[in-house]
Amino acid sequence: MRALALLLFAGTVFGQTSFPEAWPSYNGDTSGRRYSTLTQINRTNIDKLSLAWVYRVNPGRAPQAGGGNVNTTIKGTPVVVNGVLYTTIPDHVFAVDARTGREIWHYVWPSKGGWHIGNRGVAVLRETVYVETPDCNLVALNSKDGKEKWHTQICDLEQFYYASVAPIIVNTSVKNHVITGVSGDDLDIPGYIESHDPDTGALQWRWYAHPEPGTPEAKTWPSVEAMLHGGGMTWVPSTYDPDLNLLYFGTGNPQPVIAGQGREGSNLYSECIIALNPDTGKLAWYFQPSPHDTHDWDAVQTPVLFDGEINGQPRKLLAQASRNGWFFVLDRATGKNILSSEFVKTNWALGVDAKGQPIPNPAKQPKLDGALVTPNQGGAINWPSPSFNPETGLFYANAARAWSVYYLYDDDDKPEGWGGNDRGGVSDAMLQAIDYKTGKVRWSHKWPGNGGGVRSGLLSTAGKLLFAGDPSSNFVALDPATGELLWHTALHTSVTNGPITYELEGVQYLVVGAGDSLYAFAMK
């Protein structure tokens, strides 16, 4: 079974990627590197890349639950299995012929509500497609025709939860799992991650993003009540190391979000990179990028797994470019910090502690009269996926340097909800290439024109290419070693998801989402 798992998941993961004929899960393989070994499209022929097909999602006449227009922006990464591409918008799954872009089926979930901010995509195992819905359900569909097999509730809409993350399949030597996460930070609720039986949807375990009362970690909260209402949502897909049998993910901001005076302490396990045993849901280790966050800087960005060398020694590594502007390299077996550095300049930390975790500057916490802070609430990076290229040893992040003023609205001893917000600001967008051995930015490409956040994920390939969207509706290929611009094409709007690549019948396809459309490219 273990061998089967290795075959299924990235056969594997940290040396040679082996999923060229598919893009079987959110990040392609479970390492989160978004690196493909395909080379048909490469640096020498990229100028001959041509449009292969365009697919525009059509949700039909189904109204948006809760009113308003249907959110048709593709924010998820498509999954490609057996020549079929699956893409999503909230409440909708579309199966598309990955060769032609022709729709095979369209599934509509009869929604009860929830926040329709976006959907990150599906998971696929054998003949089942799994998707989360804004109204807190995990839905299993038959991959052949899109008919529902079952659904199960994974969170409580009444408590202001909602669901948006792409499920992840993890097959271990013990059992198979569908890993789900939850969202929502309006009203002080605990975040958690769950594992479900892929065949029935039955809950296997739930891990809450807070410690058990009475443990040393619980002392990072002033009270059990604050801890049990302390947030830590799990809204970006996990990564997985089959050799260590560890599942990795980040947790979101503590709650109340901005007004932190009622939750003094570092507020574990909010704002953490977490390693769990996927068979038991037991915590293996944690590392906290943003202790006592008061800026909404969810540390959910993909924990990227790769093997590398540190001081001449081979190491199993995990790296995250975090929303707070800091880059971390950890030993993924132990969680011990190897390196912490800024990938954009920030002004909120006093340095790092003995564990390598930034020390928040109390002066830069939200104030009644405002505190000038960088990054802003959108962060130095947000959910769009980074990429790690083992050939260059560089970690790529589509980043922003942004400023805003953080205001505290609620100075009560026990604030609830958000209790504040940020406002205004300027922002510069840039693509950062970070050397994982030094933490230094090897090269940086500032995107001209409109600043603001970039909502494009990244993809690097053995064809010596790095793909990214810029803030001006261009889909761009760069030299991953130098940042040199090699190719671009103008789309109808900015890239809104992470690009993918796969090979079918000898043709390498490159697919990217922009607004309501997927664009596929291939060689002429």
Residue 197 annotated to the active site: no
Name the active-site residue from 91, 188, 296, 470: 296
Q: Which of 194, 292, 185, 257 minimizes the C-alpha distance to 418? A: 257
Q: Contact letters (x/-) for another protein, 262-281, by CB under 8 A?
A: --------------------
**CA 411, 359, 382 angle in degrees (round to 5)?**
80
Number of residues lying near another protein (CB under 8 A): 64
Burial 381-410 (b: 16+ CB within 10 A, else e): bbbbbbbbbbebbbbbbbbbbbbbbbbbeb
What are the DSSP E strand ranges found in 424-496?
A: 427-435, 441-446, 459-461, 465-469, 474-478, 485-490
Residue 79 host element (H or E): strand 79-81
Least Å from the CB of residue 245 to another protein: 21
Least Å from the CB of residue 488 to another protein: 6
Least Å from the CB of residue 299 to another protein: 20
Indicate the DSSP class of residue 91: T
Q: Which of 372, 391, 484, 493 is the binder for another protein (CB under 8 A)?
A: 372
Q: Contact letters (x/-) for another protein, 438-467, by CB under 8 A?
A: ---------xxx------------------
Q: Is 353 in the site for another protein (CB under 8 A)?
A: no
Give the separation between CA 321 and CA 381, rounded to whole angstroms: 7
Q: Which of 151, 367, 437, 442 is the binder for another protein (CB under 8 A)?
A: 367
**CA 285, 286, 288 angle in degrees (round to 5)?**
165
Burial 263-281 (b: 16+ CB within 10 A, else e): bebbbbbbbbbbbbbbbeb
Amino acid at 27: N
Q: Is 108 in the site for another protein (CB under 8 A)?
A: no
Is the Cβ of residue 127 or residue 225 nearer to another protein in the bound state?
225
Q: Contact letters (x/-) for another protein, 153-192, by CB under 8 A?
A: x--xxxxx-------------------------xxxxx--
Q: Contact letters (x/-) for another protein, 307-326, by CB under 8 A?
A: --------------------
Of 37-45, 204-212, 309-317, 325-333: span binding another protein (CB under 8 A): 204-212
Least Å from the CB of residue 191 to another protein: 12
Is the Cβ of residue 63 or residue 448 nearer to another protein in the bound state?
448
Give the separation between CA 425 and CA 380, rounded to whole angstroms: 13
Least Å from the CB of residue 99 to another protein: 30
Is the Cβ of residue 374 or residue 497 nearer to another protein in the bound state?
374
For residue 498, what are the contacts with CB-CB under 8 A and spacing of at least 6?
34, 77, 384, 385, 456, 457, 458, 459
User: Within its chain, how far is the Cα of 133 from the centroid?
Assistant: 17
For residue 245, what are the contacts with CB-CB under 8 A and spacing of at least 6?
172, 173, 277, 278, 279
Binding site for another protein (CB under 8 A): 66, 112-113, 135, 153, 156-160, 186-190, 206, 208, 212-214, 225, 228-229, 257-258, 345, 347, 363, 367-372, 374, 403, 405, 407-410, 412, 414, 416-421, 423-426, 447-449, 470-472, 474, 476, 485, 488, 490
Which residues belong to the active site? 296
